[in-house]
Amino acid sequence: MSAVLKPLRWPTSAAAAPRLALWTAAEIAAATGGTAYGEFQVSGVEMDSRDVRGGDLFVALKGEAMDGHRFLDKAFANGAAAALVDREVDYPHVRVADTTAALMALARAARERTTAKVIGVTGSVGKTGVKEAIFTALERSSRGAAHRSVRSYNNHVGVPLSLSRMPARSRFGVFEMGMNHANEISGLTAQVKPHVAVITTLAPAHIENLGSMEAIADAKAEIFEGLAKGGTAVIPADVEWTDRLRAAAEQHGASVIAFGRSASADMRLLDAVPDGSGGSLVTAAMGDVRLCFTVAEPGEHWIDNALCVMAAVHAAGGDMGAAGLALAEMGGLKGRGARFRVKVPGGHALVIDESYNANPASMRATLAQLGQTPASRRVVVLGSMKELGDFAPGFHAQLLEPIMGAGVDHAILVGEEMAALAREMGKEPQRPLGNAPSFAHCENAGEAIAALQEFSLVGGDAVLVKGSNSVGLARVVEHFTAREG
């Protein structure tokens, strides 16, 4: 007897369809107080029609200058399963009074239904890299049951969007929180309600708006306000404001793990040596336990980041071995340390992409790492550091010391604020550390590309591209990495 194969019929009703990972129409309506039109399930949530993928819920947000409802056709053309809207539309949707408020409500519902251990991450420098490393460690040990905010979705829209995307089955959730004014993290941490609240470090980022380092410390410490009962604060032990952070955490009932090189650190660095591949072999102590692991990312700052990651994973009850493996395998993120080999006359040049963000502390850290990078010539393309206010001229001028310490041969300075550094580099007489490198001062990324082409990279060169995101130096990286290297 021969069998006859029959085509499988796709489910024709919501009851017959296999449940997707995230939300049903009824659940979205219940969470938002809206009305569902159509029966559907969604596997993701997206607010940008260009990023919509098959099965997503498209949230049509309205701002002062933009209305997401204008992009419904594009969202559904890209595969949206439904939309969250404030009007009737000719697509499956949930209708609400206010889509922004509805997104917040969906985020609350996601947080309330999960049993995941939640980690919140903030800090002046290193938030995204630390968040990614914590996630990678927890995803490995939980076999894919970890969730995190993607990109730098760390503001009043990005955080609820990231929460709303968290599957109910998640065992861990890792969320980044950013700010440039006081009281912003308060609102974000109230949504995230972390069990573990991490501050990577403190630096004069956004000092224009906050006025002092003490105010920056207090603004970052707002993350402790949302801590779940019995939560843990992970703080840097090597900054001047450690005691201030500790007091703020303890005020909210948190236990504290301090990480760093200080003798008082709970997660304490014992030793770090180069691993021969640009990274470090690290030995650390947590109480009576010694940890030995490799950090693939180059630079002294990543040794500190690694201690932070280990402390956070420990506080979350994660697998420390998996954390060590994650740190050994991590590569640089786009705009935050990614490295590219670019074909140039005589071989290849190394391009280091730090184009997403810059402040005085991160500038010094990446310049120090450039100084340890083998190269025939070291070149920097440095963009203005924003939100420094009246402190800007001084902080920019002070970059001459780390530039010379790194052995930079040529500097391309981009943006109005870099005029202070250009003046400093042009001063005479010769400096104790030697002659300042040759330099060019440009207004924008286009001029920087032309200046770099005029300089003529050759094989063996190393180029660091770093500046605040608004300067647009990603264009410089894209121009040279678009070639086949």
Per-residue DSSP letters for 72-124? HHHHHHTT-SEEEESS--SSSEEE-S-HHHHHHHHHHHHHHH---EEEEEE-S
Tokens of 91: 């697509």
Shared domain check, 154 and 272? yes
124, 202 contact by CB (below 8 A): yes
C-alpha 183: how far from chain center:
20
Answer whether 86's CB lies under 8 Å from 77's CB: no
pLDDT at 4: 38
Answer yes or no: is pLDDT of 14 > 50. no
Query: Which tens digits make up the pLDDT trace of 451-478?
Result: 999 999 999 999 999 999 899 999 999 9
Looking at residue 194, what is its pLDDT?
98
pLDDT tens column, 379-436: 999 999 988 888 899 999 999 999 999 999 999 999 999 999 999 998 855 555 566 7
Answer positive or negative: Cα dihedral of 202, 205, 207, 210.
negative
Does residue 10 belong to any structural domain of this protein? no
Q: State which of 69, 98, 127 marks the end of a domain.
A: 98
Least confident range from 173-182, 212-221, 273-282: namely: 273-282
Question: Shortest CA distance to 153 belongs to which of 102, 116, 191?
Answer: 191
Considering the domain architecture, whether residues 308 and 345 belong to the same structural domain is answered as no
Percent of the chain with pLDDT over 90: 75
**Stretch among 5-9, 218-222, 279-283, 415-419 having the lowest mean pLDDT:** 5-9
Whichever domain contains 398, its CATH number is: 3.90.190.20
What domain range includes position 414? 338-481
Decide if 12 is inside a domain.
Answer: no
Q: What is the pLDDT of residue 339?
A: 87
Q: What pLDDT, in 10s, does the model give residues 353-362?
A: 999 888 888 8
Q: Computed from CA positions of residues 48, 53, 54, 55, in that sequence, does the dihedral angle turn out positive or negative?
A: negative
Same domain for 307 and 342?
no
Calculate mean pLDDT across residues 343-371. 90
Residue 297 shares a structural domain with residue 322: yes
Looking at the structure, tell me whether residues 301 and 369 fall in a common domain: no
Residue 10 — pLDDT band, cuts 50, 70, 90? Answer: very low
With a cut of 90, say whether residue 337 has pLDDT above it: no
**Residue 328: CB partners within 8 Å, gap ≥ 6?**
279, 293, 294, 295, 296
Q: What one-character-per-residue DSSP string does 354-404 give?
A: ETT---HHHHHHHHHHHHTS--SEEEEEEEPPPS-GGGHHHHHHTTHHHHH
The last residue of a domain, from among 309, 329, 349: 329
In what order do the strands lie in the sheet containing 438-442?
Answer: 338-344, 347-354, 461-466, 377-383, 410-414, 438-442
Mind listing the pLDDT tens digit for each residue in 306-323? 999 999 999 999 999 999
What pLDDT shows up at residue 434? 61
What are the Cα distances from residue 348, in Å, to 10, 353, 461, 478?
53, 16, 8, 16
Residue 125: give its domain's CATH number. Answer: 3.40.1190.10
Residue 395 has a pLDDT of 92
Q: 164-193 burial string, b = 16+ CB within 10 Å, else e?
A: bbbbeebbbbbbbbbbeebebbebbbebbb
Q: What is the pLDDT of residue 483?
A: 59
Q: Supply the pLDDT for residue 238.
A: 96
User: How high is the pLDDT of residue 429?
Assistant: 53
Give the closest residue to 227 by CA, choosing from 307, 302, 292, 315. Answer: 315
From edge to edge, which strands make up the β-sheet containing 56-59? 35-37, 93-95, 82-85, 56-59, 44-46
Residues 381 and 274 in one domain: no
State the Cα–Cα distance between residues 125 and 202, nearest whole angstrom: 7
Residue 120 domain-assigned (yes or no): yes
Q: Is residue 167 part of a domain?
A: yes
**Pick from 70, 98, 126: which residue ends a domain?**
98
Q: Is residue 109 part of a domain?
A: no
The answer to whether position 380 is within a domain reads: yes
Same domain, 183 and 305: yes
169 & 286 share domain? yes
Q: What is the CATH number of the domain that holds 56?
A: 3.40.1390.10
64-121 residue pLDDT tens: 888 999 999 999 999 999 999 999 999 999 999 999 999 999 999 999 999 999 999 9
Round the CA-based radius of gyration of the chain to a whole number and report it: 25
Tell me whether residue 204 is in a domain: yes
Say whether both 315 and 170 belong to one domain.
Answer: yes
pTM over 0.95: no
Cα 459 to Cα 47: distance, rounded to the nearest angstrom: 43
Residues 410 and 272 in one domain: no
What's the pLDDT score for residue 209? 79
Confidence class for position 275, pLDDT limits 50, 70, 90: confident
Using alpha carbons only, give the angle 383, 389, 391 rounded to the nearest 5 degrees: 85
Answer whether residue 107 is part of any domain.
no
Mean pLDDT computed over every residue of the chain? 90
316 and 358 part of one domain: no
- Are residue 354 and residue 397 in the same domain, yes or no? yes
pLDDT the model gives residue 16 = 41
How many independent structural domains does the chain possess? 3
